Amino acid sequence: MDPIQEAIAEIESRDPGEQFSYQQIAKKYGVERTTLMRRHKHQNDDYGVRNQSLHPEREAELVRYIETLTERRLPPTRTMIQQFASQLAGKPVSESWVSRFLRRHPNHLISRSGKAMAKERTKADSGAKYNLYFKLLHKKVEEYNIQPTHIFNMDEKGFQLSRVSNTKRIFSRRLYEQKGAR
């Protein structure tokens, strides 16, 4: 048996409440006192969990959220994931945290370039057309006395802030491989 395990076995064989000295037991078995204390108190078991920015349960929650966004055809960018994680952790997480997060969940998440807006849609895109559309919308909302709670966005694409096609997005691997998220 390993000396540290023997030392722990001796400590645990004592009656509850019986006094002992970590220093004496460590010296008897030739182990470090601090190591013996840490192992006996089981502080080493969750060392990795304690040092993670997000608890594994919160990471699983973030994975589910990314899957929901992918289902809605809104796969997040790395920056968005960094912001989500920072909010969940209550402290800033680094860009490299996102890389490690993706490596920890290779069966659930995949990083790929998003598709660019269709050429026809890009050509039809203009500020004047948006302005005209919203003036007409505002007029109809007033004309029919439509309450804001009864207005919904039904466009499956939404507004794209960038037309750059090489923006990397994080997809749910399952949905991406089903080709339902592209």
3-state secondary structure string across 94-106: CHHHHHHHHHHCC
Report the share of the chain in percent with pLDDT over 70: 79
Beta carbons within 10 angstroms of residue 105's beta carbon? 17
Q: What is the model's pTM?
A: 0.50
Whole-angstrom Cα distance, residue 111 to residue 168? Answer: 6
Average pLDDT of the chain is 82
Q: Binning pLDDT at 50, 70 and 90, where does residue 134 land? A: confident
The H helix count followed by the E strand count for the chain is: 10, 2
Confirm if 178 and 70 have CB atoms less than 8 A apart: no
Specify the CATH class of 50-115+165-177 in words. mainly alpha
What pLDDT is stored for residue 45 in this prediction?
47
Q: Which of 49-63, 90-104, 117-131 has the lowest mean pLDDT?
A: 117-131
Which one has a higher pLDDT value, 147 or 160? 147
Report residue 158 as tokens.
């939404």
Residue pLDDT, tens place only, 152-175 = 776 555 555 554 456 788 888 888
| 73, amino acid identity | R
Residue pLDDT, tens place only, 71-92 = 888 899 999 999 999 999 899 9
Report residue 180 as tokens.
């339902």
Q: What angle do CA 107, 54, 63 make, to 5 degrees?
A: 30
Residue with tokens 């204390």: 37
Q: Over 90: is that where the pLDDT of 129 sits?
A: no
